[in-house]
């Protein structure tokens, strides 16, 4: 028994180790993602349908909130953060739905999936194009809210713009994943808000709290806790959605 055990141990030591998986080709992954993002942005630049729809929705929402608001009951500083994040959230959904809708024509999505690129490249490219779209809408909406609600144009408003960028990253990551999930369903317009909005909550709450504290003139240190929470959710959502996208498109 001892001799046989020793022979088995020696055989195990001589057995070749299993080859480790090759490292990811990061330059190729990023290059493919950039090409996909450029293609999506070129399509949107030619049509401008999603951007104009989201922009009109955002501006109409600002006007409606402004005329339905009683300045003697609620101050502008107290109302503006809520209006800002309600409009950012719902206007962003209009563009996220179109992210994979454009790939349904002529089987373009099948072409992407059969291309010699990583699935992660598709997700990152789509998410990058969606991020540019959402930031473009925010870039017009934030000055409009500052104008309608007489917000002070100072470092606090600039900090709110930075918060909007952080929140847009998390919203886009979640929205892009669920847009891919519902792209081939008949009720995609209804399913996307139902699936995505609950996951927007952990992003919108810290963003809204930090925005309210900065606009009200509170010390930036009081908003730092909310910003750390927002950044943590961004990291978790981007990582989880990038990894989970592969399993979403293979189903």
- Confidence check: pLDDT of 7 > 70: no
Q: Give the pLDDT score at 179.
A: 85
Q: Give the pLDDT score at 10.
A: 47
- Tell me, yes or no, whether 23 lies in a domain: no
- pLDDT 10s digits, 91-104: 888 778 777 776 66
> Cα dihedral sign for 140, 199, 130, 27?
positive
- Confidence check: pLDDT of 9 > 60: no
Q: Give the pLDDT score at 203.
A: 93
- Tell me, yes or no, whether 17 lies in a domain: no
The reply to whether the predicted model has a pTM over 0.75 is yes
The gap between the terminal CA atoms of the chain, to the nearest Å, is 51
As for how many domains the chain has, the answer is 1
- pLDDT 10s digits, 229-239: 999 999 999 99
- Tell me, yes or no, whether 1 lies in a domain: no
- Tell me, yes or no, whether 14 lies in a domain: no
Q: Give the pLDDT score at 24.
A: 54
Q: Give the pLDDT score at 43.
A: 79
87 close to 168: Cβ distance less than 8 angstroms: no
- Confidence check: pLDDT of 52 > 90: no
For 137, residues 6+ apart whose C-beta sits below 8 A from its C-beta are 51, 54, 55, 58, 88, 91, 92, 95
| Domain range enclosing 92 | 31-250
Give the percent of the chain with pLDDT over 90. Answer: 16
Best-predicted range by mean pLDDT (16-25, 107-116, 148-157): 148-157
Question: Using CA atoms, how far apart are residues 168 and 146, in angstroms rounded to an integer?
Answer: 19
- Tell me, yes or no, whether 241 lies in a domain: yes
For 37, residues 6+ apart whose C-beta sits below 8 A from its C-beta are 124, 125, 126, 128, 129, 132
For 66, residues 6+ apart whose C-beta sits below 8 A from its C-beta are 148, 149
* Average pLDDT of every residue of the chain: 79
The least confident of 26-30, 137-141, 171-175, 215-219 is 26-30
Q: Of the candidates 64, 92, 104, which has an alpha carbon nearest to the alpha carbon of residue 185?
A: 104
- Tell me, yes or no, whether 3 lies in a domain: no
Task: Between 60 and 116, name the one with better pLDDT.
Answer: 60
Alpha helices in the chain (DSSP H): 2-14, 26-47, 49-67, 76-101, 108-114, 119-148, 155-182, 188-215, 220-250
The pair of structure tokens assigned to 15 is 């057995």
The least confident of 22-26, 138-142, 159-163, 169-173 is 22-26
Neighbouring CB atoms inside 10 A of 75's CB total 12
The C-alpha angle with vertex 126 and arms to 86 and 234, in degrees rounded to 5, equals 55
- Tell me, yes or no, whether 202 lies in a domain: yes
Report the pLDDT averaged over residues 143-155: 83
- pLDDT 10s digits, 56-66: 888 888 888 88
């Amino acid at each position: 028994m001892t001799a046989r055990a020793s022979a088995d141990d020696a055989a195990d030591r001589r057995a070749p180790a299993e080859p480790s998986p090759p490292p990811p080709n990061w330059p190729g992954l990023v290059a493919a993602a950039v090409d996909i993002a450029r293609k999506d942005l070129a399509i949107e630049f030619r049509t401008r349908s999603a951007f104009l729809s989201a922009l009109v929705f955002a501006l109409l929402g600002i006007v409606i909130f402004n005329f339905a608001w009683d300045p003697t009951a609620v101050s502008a500083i107290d109302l503006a953060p809520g209006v800002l994040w309600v409009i950012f959230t719902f206007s962003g959904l209009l563009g996220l739905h179109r992210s994979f809708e454009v790939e349904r024509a002529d089987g373009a999505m099948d072409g992407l999936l059969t291309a010699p690129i990583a699935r992660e490249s598709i997700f990152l490219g789509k998410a990058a194009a969606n991020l540019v779209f959402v930031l473009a809408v925010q870039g017009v909406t934030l000055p409009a809210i500052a104008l309608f609600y007489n917000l002070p144009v100072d470092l606090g408003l600039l900090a709110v713009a930075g918060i909007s960028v952080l929140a847009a990253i998390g919203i886009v990551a979640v929205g892009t994943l669920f847009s891919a999930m519902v792209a081939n369903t008949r009720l995609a317009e209804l399913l996307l808000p139902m699936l995505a909005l609950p996951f927007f909550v952990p992003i919108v709450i810290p963003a809204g709290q930090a925005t309210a504290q900065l606009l009200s003139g509170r010390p930036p240190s009081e908003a730092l806790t909310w910003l750390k929470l927002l950044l943590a959710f961004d990291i978790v959502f981007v990582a989880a959605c990038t990894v989970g996208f592969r399993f979403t498109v293979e189903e």
